[in-house]
Amino acid sequence: MLLINPIIFFNAQAQQNFKYEGAFEMNDIKGFAAFNYKLQKEDTIYDGSFLFQHNSSNDLITKSNPFIKVSGQFIDDTPNGEWKFLLGDFQANNNIVKEGYTFKLKLNGTEHSAKGKIKANKPQGDWQQIIKEIKNGEIEDTLFISHFDFDEGVPIKSFDLRSSKGTLVGRLLAEGVAHDRWELYTPTEIETEEVWTFSEGRLLSIDRRIEGNSYSISIFPTEQKSAKLINLDKTYLSIIDMLQQIEMDTTALPESKLHKLLFQNADLYEQTNKLISSLSNAQIRPGIKVLVEQYDYKRSLTDLFKDYQERSSKIVTEYKRLSESSQLNILKLADEEVFANLNALSFYEERYHQPFRLLLSYHQNELLQFLPINKLYRALPSIEQFQDSEVISYQWNDTTKNIKLERLSKANFEDVQTGLDTLKLYADHVLLRMEQLETSLFKRIKKEERLQLIKELEKKLMTAMSSLNESVDSSKQIAPQHEQDILLEVRAFARKEIGNYSSLPDGNEKIVLAKSLISCFESLDSLTKRIAILPNKEKEIVEHYTDDKWNPFTSTVMSELEKRRIVEAYQEILIPYMINYVQQHIKCNTVKELNDLYDLLHQRMMALRNEDTDRLERNLKGVDDAEKIFEMFGVELSNKLLNP
């Protein structure tokens, strides 16, 4: 903690004493502080009064704001005498009153106050923790009161916790050890609603009365061999929660008011302790002592749960994906196998997987070390049914039906010797079964996705084929007879490819071929249009190479073809080569190259007209190899065209 320069100082005998007022940070909370202190070497020693205050009132109108105030006395860096803690969460109501030049706000929210004496870093005498509800600037209700009496940090005799729901009175032995009946009384009942019975720190049982019915749960009914005293804090209450759930399914029962009071009290003292311990070595805790027994199988459990967590995490993720899959939710309405498998998966998740995940959470919170091994595997449903094939019922069209799940594990359940063996066998079986069911359902989804994709691709394929047919029919009307025959061969080739496609089973190969054929037919469509307009393209080239010249002998203007050898090579060798190529080597993997070749050749012919081609024309003499002429023209044939 860094201190800003003190605003005043004075000498007192040989010791310098200072007073500080200014910004201060307490337990990572920034605020304002005013306190007295002295320096010993380079250490700050609190000595005298101390005040810290934090409030965030930037926007009280639209949102709640936290408030903290801590005040007390120090003697030589040790809290001494009465200390007060005030923690609130407030928001102003909409009624803002102007009085003179001051606006007054009335607050709504909750206020937690704690006060009591500290001696030798321990609570001493009467300590109270109170929560109040504030409404319109007034105390609306007292929600919680905790009253303890301490002697050198040890709670003595008894304590009481009160709320609007009830009052808990607890009795204590020397050293603050829980003992006898802790009884919860409610305003509306004459008899006690809940009783926790302790014997010298050991919680024997919890008895509850709910709507006229009585429930009794054994917690530590027999004497513990290696018990140890711990504080009754949130961890202990979590242990009791765990033991209750194992002994009896308490999820359907209302929340325990006695447990809630103890938990709230522990939480309030924890908040108070965080503040005072950030300033000193003082510890302000209820200090109630209870007995628990720890078991030394943490290492064995760690290995088991590590493997389980990795597999379980994936299963939970996949289960969520399946549950949220719109495709699967539609499929299960029409497909009984999908419905049955999904029902079996849900059954396993709720019946077997969730209880084991609860054990995992206990392990992660380091609670299982307090659970006897015989109770540890009792926390799970019986695994006897895993020995043979399982039958799980489901409703289909108002009829009860069964799905039979064959046995997965080869292990002999009757040979299980220990609770840990049971746990491992249980985990392996449940995870393997759920993985199997999830895999089956994902395969069904993938199959449905493939079928849907094939359906969509076939729609596009038929559109491409229809467009090709239209192009062939329209191109036939303008193309010469030879080109018409080629166009019909293009269509026949496409129909043959459709036939090959239809003979394939529905699978990935069919999807790949459908995508390929769509691209192929689109390229064939373009090719038919190029073939149809080829005569026009030839005419365009001839006109491009023809010049009008004056003939002095006839006194007329005559048309004369320039660069005749180039044009003749184009008309008599290259065009027939490309037409024949379509006839002889038409394939899906060459159609795009053919289209590109038509375009490239036309562009090159247009360009050669304006280039110096004397040498090219000389070299063309006597050459009738189309591939050689393409090379001489500077048009590169792809490997696919050269090696059909």
Does the structure show a pLDDT above 70 at 13? no
pLDDT-based confidence at residue 332 (cuts at 50, 70, 90) = confident
Contact yes or no for 485/586 (Cβ under 8 A): no
pLDDT digits (tens, 9 = 90+) for 580-639: 888 888 889 888 989 999 999 999 989 998 989 899 989 999 899 999 999 999 988 888
pLDDT-based confidence at residue 14 (cuts at 50, 70, 90) = very low
Q: Count CB atoms within 10 A of the CB of residue 105.
A: 16
Question: What gap in Å lies between CA 522 and CA 518, rounded to an integer?
Answer: 6
Residue 282 C-beta-side C-alpha neighbours within 13 Å = 31
Q: What is the pTM of this model?
A: 0.63
Q: Count CB atoms within 10 A of the CB of residue 516.
A: 14
Q: Count CB atoms within 10 A of the CB of residue 309.
A: 14
The 3-class SS string of 271-284 reads HHHHHHHCCCCCCC
Torsion of CA 525, 529, 532, 537, to 10 degrees: -150
Question: What gap in Å lies between CA 85 and CA 475, rounded to an integer?
Answer: 93
The 3-class SS string of 543-555 reads HHCEEEEEECCCC
Q: How far is CA 136 from CA 63, 133, 528, in A?
A: 15, 10, 85
What's the chain's average pLDDT? 86
Question: What gap in Å lies between CA 101 and CA 117, rounded to an integer?
Answer: 40
Q: Which percentage of the chain shows pLDDT scores above 90?
A: 38
Mean pLDDT, residues 539-544: 90
pLDDT digits (tens, 9 = 90+) for 490-519: 899 999 999 998 888 888 898 899 999 999
Mean pLDDT, residues 128-140: 93
Contact yes or no for 171/180 (Cβ under 8 A): yes
Contact yes or no for 644/590 (Cβ under 8 A): yes
pLDDT-based confidence at residue 8 (cuts at 50, 70, 90) = very low
pLDDT attached to residue 412: 53
Which are the contacts of 352, defined by CB distance < 8 A and separation ≥ 6?
380, 381, 426, 430
Question: What gap in Å lies between CA 231 and CA 242, rounded to an integer?
Answer: 17
Question: What gap in Å lies between CA 170 and CA 161, rounded to an integer?
Answer: 9
pLDDT-based confidence at residue 1 (cuts at 50, 70, 90) = very low
pLDDT attached to residue 424: 80
Contact yes or no for 436/408 (Cβ under 8 A): yes
Give the residue ranges of DSSP H helices in 477-587.
481-502, 508-532, 534-544, 564-569, 575-585
Among 60-69, 153-162, 238-247, 427-436, the least confident range: 60-69
**Token pair belonging to 131:** 């929560």
* Rounded (5°) CA angle 545-551-553: 155
pLDDT digits (tens, 9 = 90+) for 104-131: 888 889 999 999 999 999 999 999 999 9
Residue with tokens 């004459």: 190
Q: Phi first, then psi: what are they for 51, rounded to 5°?
A: -140, 130
Contact yes or no for 224/206 (Cβ under 8 A): no
* Rounded (5°) CA angle 300-305-308: 135
**Token pair belonging to 156:** 């003595």
- 144-168 CB burial, b ≥16 within 10 A, e <16: bbbebbbeebbbbeebebbbebbbb
Does the structure show a pLDDT above 50 at 12? no
Question: What gap in Å lies between CA 576 and CA 592, rounded to an integer?
Answer: 18
pLDDT attached to residue 383: 65
Question: What gap in Å lies between CA 483 and CA 311, rounded to an integer?
Answer: 65
Structural domain boundaries of the chain? 56-293, 298-449, 453-642
Does the structure show a pLDDT above 60 at 175? yes
Contact yes or no for 153/122 (Cβ under 8 A): yes
Contact yes or no for 146/154 (Cβ under 8 A): no
Residue with tokens 């009064």: 49
Question: What gap in Å lies between CA 479 and CA 491, rounded to an integer?
Answer: 15
pLDDT digits (tens, 9 = 90+) for 148-168: 999 999 999 999 999 988 999
Phi-psi region of 163 (alpha: psi -120 to 50; beta: other; left: phi over 0): beta
CA 482 to chain CA mean position, Å: 65
**Token pair belonging to 11:** 């000498």
Question: What gap in Å lies between CA 475 and CA 464, rounded to an integer?
Answer: 16
Question: What gap in Å lies between CA 583 and CA 490, rounded to an integer?
Answer: 8
Q: Count CB atoms within 10 A of the CB of residue 615.
A: 9
Contact yes or no for 253/215 (Cβ under 8 A): yes
Question: What gap in Å lies between CA 327 and CA 509, rounded to an integer?
Answer: 23
Which are the contacts of 560, defined by CB distance < 8 A and separation ≥ 6?
546, 547, 548, 549
Mean pLDDT, residues 187-215: 89
Question: What gap in Å lies between CA 613 and CA 636, rounded to an integer?
Answer: 18
pLDDT attached to residue 5: 45
